[in-house]
Amino acid sequence: MRLGVSCLLAALFATLPAGAAAQPLPIAAGEEVLVERDGSGHYGRRLVVALRAEPRTFNPAIAADAPSREVIGRMTGDLIHINRSTQLTEAALARGWTRSTDGREYTLTLRKGIRFSDGQPFDADDVVFTFRAMLDERTGAPQRDLLIVGGQPVRVTKVDAHTVRVALAQPYAAAERLFDSIAILPEHLLAGAYARGALAEAWPLTTSAGAIAGLGPYRLKEYTAGQRLVLERNPFYWKADAAKRRLPYMDEIVFLFAGTEDAQIIRFQSGESDILNRASADNFTALARNGSARHRLEDLGPGLEYNFLVFNQNDLSGKGLPQIESRQRWFGDLGFRRAVSRAVDRESIARLVYRGRAVPLWGNVSPGNRRWVNASIARPARSVSEARAILKTSGFSWRPDGALLDQQGQRVAFTIVTSSSNTQRTEMATLVQADLKELGMDVQVVPLEFRALVDRVFQTFDYDASILGLGGGDADPNSEMSVWLSTGSNHLWRLGQKTPATAWEAEVDRLMAQQLVTLDSRERKRLFDRVQELVAEQLPFIFLAAPHILVGARPDLGNFQPSVLDHYTLWNVDRLFIQPDGSQRR
Amino acid sequence: MTRGRARALVVVLAALHLLVLLAGFVAPYDPVDQARALPFAPPVRLHVIDADGRFHPRPFVYALVPDPATADGYMEDRSRRFPVQMMVRGARYSVLPGLESNLHLVGVETPGRLFLLGTDGFGRDLLSRLLHGGRVSVGAGLLATLSALLIGMVLGTVAGFSGGRIDGGVMWAANLFMAVPWLYLLFAARAALPLHIDTRATFLLLVTVLGVVGWARPARLIRGVVLSARERTYVLAARGFGANPLYLLRRHLLPHTFGVALTQAGLLVPQYILAEVTLSFLGLGVGEPTPSWGTMLGSLQQYDVLTSYWWMFAPAVALVVTAVTYHAVTSAVHGRIRLVTT
């Protein structure tokens, strides 16, 4: 019967004139659509978005690059979703869920009567297939690591056609956040490729629109290589507005490929594109200065990204880097790092590098992460005299010409490597260089090509210090595990530890592991607050600044509610619409 | 070209070099000093009439304060005048190695600032950076030209005078040097060098690379001149009278090459200044905070700087003026040499 309805619907759409947008279907009886409580809009029109680069694939299981994810995110749906505005989880394809008392088992109830964008029904088999495919090593899904909890992959089993059970090896705090952005795959289209072990090769850019289906608000219409990619409304989408009209409002989304951020800005400025997902502070300032009625620019305040100066404290034995090893005497000295931290002028970094569109930072959580930031972390003002006093206590001294000498009379001189393609980080390094000169340190700034920089920081350890940035994923502390665990792949100052090198790193390990399995959110906050205190005291990173999220849109774009979580502007694309009278209301 | 005009051009060129040579004295500030409260401040306005309409014979400036009406603009604080003073004491600079001074041609009292060409994104005085940057850029151009010409003259003369296998070998090497894609080799060389190279070493590296790469063209020209002069009848006559090769070179052959060498110098200097600018622009030049025209122009890669702060083009103007003056002087000199030799 279901198949019959699908064929009928498919035949109905086949008769539409070419170029006409698919109309939203009326909501059928028994179809458990999600009704959005607020915001109404008007149907029609298209939204033009200029991407930085061309996507590489339509395959949600393997997409790792930002442009592919930007496009795929509009064509797919997840079971439980993080609301980018409230930063809390909410029901999506799963109508609801329950957690067992021991926190190891989740039971998810799926919506009934939901269809993929090709009209085929969605049920528990698709969910089980998706998790099997994502966890299969042959697929190479970037999300796979997230789905390994306590060293074991999550186990997803079907209870009935609309219920699935998810079992975890250990209790996992905020486990429901794991489901966000895990795109549910259509088993009827991809089971064949998966069975052949060829899921990773499925859905390349050359795939025809009819061979791709998802549960997102839009589906593929056409793709012209090098020029544009057009998505059209998914007429089966499972969300409706408060008036029970099926979403999304807009007929189409057109993605253009700009190539560079400057080209993105120019297209937005000329009105060729309707949305600017993220602008750097200098480009944003330029746009604001030349502001016209054609744009609405919004500064959303600090995002989750944190920029920092890190000193190389890696174990260099056997690396053949005696000079850096000799300088590690200073880098491993807490007094030295504290002096550097006191001498750095964070306010100037925020003001000069980010044109005031950033906040100075003293800890590892940006104030943009309202729920998790530890507001009691000390924020000592810059003081060169304090910094000099700390150095003196640590046994450093000064030559008559002002040059800083260590306990063995060696001149304190080192290099800061940065990415040459990131102007802001190079500018930060220039300011830090001038700040540390006041302490008598001779600092050189060396901008390197990004891959060369990554190679030095992660592989060869052939560097003294670097200015880098992390964060920007989820707001939850679990997304930071790889940075703070001593065994983590982003534990940048001392990578590849088998056992914690210091007592405080051992304590951070314990706290992070404990918060991971603590289900009480207040207790988790207390544990993570302590991690933040330890990090601020021990300064493995000298935190510098958290840049604001800067976005823009055409002024008549309705329901535009940009957020500090990625995707900043298109996260609620199903509710975006263009005011028919060109007014500038939300 | 008239004699007067040629002389005027030479004076302009000499003045340009003098300005750069005396950068520490002419520049009002230390080129690396950051006035962090004044990023991207526009060139300061010199006044002779104050806010009350009174005339002052000594020009003065007002201090700049943020303009509350704009996000990043400035306005003059007209409550206090800061007269421009001559021969003031300020930041220390080195005149020659081992000789320091703190005397500056012009300046104003703080908190007034004499940013005659405005500031960059760190609030550093652009005029001071331009003059000090000229030391690196023009200095590199001159030294690289000198080394390229020296190598070129020696090898070109030897090739032209000896002929045969030596000539063939030198010219083969010259062709090879002209065909190698140097930019990529430079990138590779920089990547292989240690991260920490101080400014002086980078400067010497630049000069050496430009000089070593650039010898081929002058060598070919000089070889041609020597080759044709070698067959002149008076050279043959001198040789017939038993003149030794050194005498022939000194008395009859080398004087012929001076004109070519001088013209080449006039062409190579601006070319090498430009090469230094290109290399610095690509991150292969001297590092921050030492200024050079190339690193200064590097900030124009940012769309915002390119479209919003016109004074940041000052190094480009300096570059064009220097190159054009060099070319004009070269053509004047070239004309006069031809006049003399014909």
Q: Give average pLDDT by consecutive 10-residue segment, chain A, 586 residues.
A: 45 46 85 88 94 92 89 96 89 94 92 96 96 92 82 93 94 87 94 94 94 96 94 96 93 92 88 92 85 82 95 92 93 97 96 94 92 94 96 96 95 92 91 96 89 90 94 82 88 92 95 89 95 97 96 93 91 93 56
* Phi and psi at residue B324, to the nearest 5°: -65, -45
pLDDT in the model for residue A15: 41
Out of A351, A433, A464, the one facing B288 most closely (by C-beta) is A433
Please say whether the beta carbons of B167 and B223 come within 8 A: yes
Which of A384, A427, A450 should be substituted to probe chain B, the one whose Cβ sees the most B Cβ atoms within 10 Å? A427
- Diameter of chain B by CA atoms? 87
Q: Which residues of A touch B123 (CB under 8 A)?
A: 352
From A262, which residue of chain B is nearest by alpha-carbon distance?
A: B303
pLDDT in the model for residue A460: 92
Three-state DSSP state, A402 = coil
From B299, which residue of chain A is nearest by alpha-carbon distance?
A: A423
Report the distance separating Cα A208 and Cα A215, nearest Å. 17
Asked if A289 lies within 8 A of B71 by C-beta distance, the reply is yes
**Six-digit token pair at B56?**
């002052």
Helix, strand, coil shares of chain A, percent, nearest 5, are: 30, 20, 45
Per-residue pLDDT tens digits for B26-66: 999 999 999 999 999 999 999 999 988 999 999 999 999 98
Is B98 a residue whose pLDDT tops 60? yes
Q: Which of A218, A195, A201, A171 is nearest to A72 (CA)?
A: A218
Three-state DSSP state, A208 = coil
Instruction: Output the pTM of the full model.
Output: 0.85
Residue A367 carries which DSSP code? Answer: T
**Six-digit token pair at A70?**
């930007």
Angle among Cα A443, A446, A449 to the nearest 5 degrees reads 160
pLDDT in the model for residue B106: 93
Is A283 in CB contact (< 8 Å) with chain B? yes
Q: Which residues of A touch B122 (CB under 8 A)?
A: 352, 427, 430-431, 434
Three-class HEC string of chain B: CCHHHHHHHHHHHHHHHHHHHCHHHHCCCCCCCCCCCCCCCCCCCCEEECCCCCEEEEEEEEEEEECCCCCCCEEEEEEEEEECEEEEEEEEEEEECCEEEEEEEEECCCCCCCCCCCECCCCCEHHHHHHHHHHHHHHHHHHHHHHHHHHHHHHHHHHHHHCHHHHHHHHHHHHHHHHCCHHHHHHHHHHHCCCCCCHHHHHHHHHHHHHHHHCHHHHHHHHHHHHHHHCCHHHHHHHHCCCCHHHHHHHHHHHHHHHHHHHHHHHHHHHHHHHHHHHHHCCCCCCCCCCCHHHHHHHHHCHHHHHHCHHHHHHHHHHHHHHHHHHHHHHHHHHHHHHHHC
pLDDT in the model for residue A16: 43
Report the distance separating Cα A264 and Cα A569, nearest Å. 15
Please say whether the beta carbons of A203 and A210 come within 8 A: no
Asked if A352 lies within 8 A of B123 by C-beta distance, the reply is yes
From B289, which residue of chain A is nearest by alpha-carbon distance?
A: A430
Instruction: Reply yes or no: is the peptide bond before residue A248 cis, omega within 30 of 0.
Output: yes
Residue B180 half-sphere exposure toward CB, CA atoms < 13 A: 15
Asked if B288 lies within 8 A of A463 by C-beta distance, the reply is no
Asked if B288 lies within 8 A of A445 by C-beta distance, the reply is yes
Report the distance separating Cα B279 and Cα B190, nearest Å. 11
pLDDT in the model for residue B337: 67
pLDDT in the model for residue A140: 85
- Per the prediction, chain B carries an average pLDDT of 87
Report the distance separating Cα B72 and Cα B153, nearest Å. 55
Asked if A434 lies within 8 A of B123 by C-beta distance, the reply is no
Asked if B36 lies within 8 A of A413 by C-beta distance, the reply is no
What letter represents residue B133's amino acid? G
pLDDT in the model for residue A142: 82
pLDDT in the model for residue A292: 64
Residue A349 carries which DSSP code? Answer: I
Please say whether the beta carbons of B118 and B40 come within 8 A: yes
Report the distance separating Cα A273 and Cα A270, nearest Å. 8
Asked if B283 lies within 8 A of A420 by C-beta distance, the reply is yes
This complex has an ipTM of 0.83
What letter represents residue A197's amino acid? G
Q: Which residues of B touch A462 (CB under 8 A)?
A: 195
pLDDT in the model for residue A257: 93
**Six-digit token pair at A287?**
């746009």
From A423, which residue of chain B is nearest by alpha-carbon distance?
A: B302
Band of pLDDT at residue B1, cut at 50, 70 and 90: low
Q: Which residues of B touch A445 (CB under 8 A)?
A: 287-288
Residue A187 half-sphere exposure toward CB, CA atoms < 13 A: 12
Please say whether the beta carbons of B218 and B264 come within 8 A: yes
Find which of A39-53, A533-547, B133-147, B174-188 is predicted with most confidence, using mean pLDDT. A533-547
Q: Which of A240, A253, A275 is nearest to A72 (CA)?
A: A253
Asked if A434 lies within 8 A of B34 by C-beta distance, the reply is yes
Concatenating the DSSP letter of every residue in A459-498 gives II---SEEEEEE--S-SSGGGGHHHHSTT-TT-TTS-S-S
Asked if B71 lies within 8 A of A415 by C-beta distance, the reply is no
